[in-house]
Chain A
Amino acid sequence: MKKYTYTDKKDTRSGFGAGLLEAGRKNDQVVALCADLIGSLKMNDFIKEFPDRFVQVGIAEANMMCIAAGMTIGGKIPFTGTFANFSTGRVYDQIRQSIAYSNKNVKVCASHAGLTLGEDGATHQILEDIGLMKMLPGMTVINTCDYNQTKAATMAIAEYEGPVYLRFGRPVVPIFTDPDQKFEIGKAWMVNEGADVSIFATGHLVWQAILAGEILAEQGIDAEIINIHTIKPLDAEAVLKSVAKTGCVVTAEEHNRLGGLGDSIAQVLATHTPAPQEYIAVNDSFGESGTPEQLMTKYGLDAEHIVLAVKKVIERKNKNA
């Protein structure tokens, strides 16, 4: 198992804030919009440096999405910022008609996704957003795993032409990816090569997959770990190549098991090379209040549960053999 260490921990939303500032410096067409959550979205540095290129919309997310769509007409590259729940479910029709169907170059940037929002509870913990966004034709869907990756992704989507949903979160988590990485949209990242099982993880579950990989290695199980940061378009080639080698799959995400990364992988496998698969995901329920760590444990989204899922799926593979 390749060794991953970290010296610092930060929230992924701070990676977004840093990336937005860099993207703004690189391209003066980049503009930012926020619906009364500047601090939560870490947009302060961008606003300080580019006050004229920031739009405070107030608590009016529908208006924000359509203003962003309008700003692309005239060449702007708008980044909208609010919580994931208010970035997707609340404004689905606005994104569908004015951004996706109209093919507008809007970057929908969503913080506080999933259970790790924590104490605010289920009203704010959206677990359906990846599914909602990936069903929209032409929409790119990205879920990043740490500060560095989020910063790199934010800069990369500014250079990509087309609508993007960028999902990140609130909790402070280890920084384990390269600070100078080049983020390639739609390209899976090989975290660890292995032979016994393919673990496909996204977002906060990537670090948990690494921890699981270390536990499994001690027990003689050689796990391949692949970070799928871009859920759509999915790197099907990387998925199929890995599963051809390992013959079984665990998918891990901070999302409902319906409609998320797991289903995207399952669809690729079912139509090419069916393989046993276990899901690490929320089992079709809403969340609740609690600390991020408590919630991830209670809902089975941690390294221990990944280890159990790996053992189960290897057993299924061996039974089929």
Chain B
Amino acid sequence: MKSTIKDLEKIASQIRRDIVRMVHGCQSGHPGGSLGCTEYFTALYFEAMNHDPEFNMDGIGEDLFFLSNGHISPVFYSTLAHAGYYDKAELATFRKLNSRLQGHPTTHEHLPGVRIASGSLGQGLSVAIGAALAKKLNGDKSLVYTLHGDGELQEGQIWEAAMFAPHNQVDNLISTIDVNGQQIDGPTKLVLSLGDLHAKWEAFGWDVLEMKGNDMADVVKTLKLAKSRSGQGKPIMILMHTEMGYGVDFMVGSHKWHGVAPNDEQLKLALAQLEETLGDY
């Protein structure tokens, strides 16, 4: 293991501070899903993935990550900065004019670490499958990771990709769904029920794992397990159970913080709950 769970938790705490400050700084963006997925991003970039911050688009010989639910860009951007892809000072430009840190991630402004534009939901799984196929053609043994929101599963294209990957034995793919049960208009079970996700993905032919997404030790353990089960003929799906807004008590568990920025008072309250461990940008 590269880092201890304590080390990773420290990084996560700083990323959460960044998320809240970034969203406050431009008074827009999506704090809820970002905070809920912080353990995942931290474990992925500081433990699970073999990746090179000297960014190269083709990523030959390294693990790749695709963020399909692009609206949780704050957690992605902060993670990339702390992982060394660019200076963390750039986080202050999030969602502002002439920034490389666009509201939703894009390759258009050549931000290191981003390999595809996302935001319009449902496309990232297909893109990742394509990248995984290219790796196989290239004889490249490294892996491809993706993250999706649970609400995103309401997009039909997800199920086109869900069918394709097992049929074609895309077993160098480890996908994760952020199962927080929330979407913009309310709980997923009220907006459009997702049903038994474990049974659904299994029925499509995926190797399905579950993890507690806000428990760093469990995230690290499950990603390791997923890696060990790659290359066995099946794509891997991790159902990651999180709470939207995790880490900030007044944001936890409510769809109301999907895409709302905190005001000055709320920022103060939030930062008081999140230890500054690596220095604010």
Which residue numbers of A lie inside 8 Å of B, CB to CB? 31, 52-53, 55, 57-58, 60, 62-76, 78, 93-94, 96-98, 101-104
A-B contact pairs, 9 of them (CB 8 A): A58-B164, A62-B160, A65-B126, A67-B130, A70-B130, A74-B140, A75-B60, A93-B123, A97-B120
A71 to B132, CA, bound (A): 8
A31 to B133, CA, bound (A): 11
Contact A76 B137 (CB under 8 A): yes
Type the 1/0 row for B122-143, where 1 means its CB is closer than 8 Å to any CB of A: 1110111111111101101000
A55 to B133, CA, bound (A): 9
Contact A103 B58 (CB under 8 A): no
A53 to B108, CA, bound (A): 28
CB distance from B46 to the nearest CB of A (A): 23
Residues of A within 8 A of B119 (CB): 97
Between A71, A73, A78, the greatest number of chain B beta carbons within 10 A of the residue's beta carbon is seen for: A73
Which residue numbers of B lie inside 8 Å of A, CB to CB? 57-60, 64, 66, 106-108, 115-120, 122-124, 126-135, 137-138, 140, 156-157, 160-161, 163-164, 168
CB distance from B230 to the nearest CB of A (A): 17
Residues of B within 8 A of A70 (CB): 66, 116, 126-134
**Contact A71/B107 with A63-B126, A63-B157, A98-B123 known, Cβ cut-off 8 Å:** no
Residues of A within 8 A of B161 (CB): 63, 66
Residues of B within 8 A of A52 (CB): 137
Contact A71 B131 (CB under 8 A): yes
A75 to B122, CA, bound (A): 23
A53 to B126, CA, bound (A): 17
Closest to A33 in B: B130
5 nearest CB pairs, A to B: A70-B130, A74-B134, A66-B126, A63-B160, A60-B160
Closest to A35 in B: B160
CB distance from B67 to the nearest CB of A (A): 13
Closest to B57 in A: A73
Contact B123 A73 (CB under 8 A): no
Residues of A within 8 A of B123 (CB): 62, 66, 93-94, 97-98
**Contact A97/B126 with A71-B133, A73-B64 known, Cβ cut-off 8 Å:** no
Contact A53 B137 (CB under 8 A): yes
Residues of B within 8 A of A96 (CB): 120
A67 to B161, CA, bound (A): 9
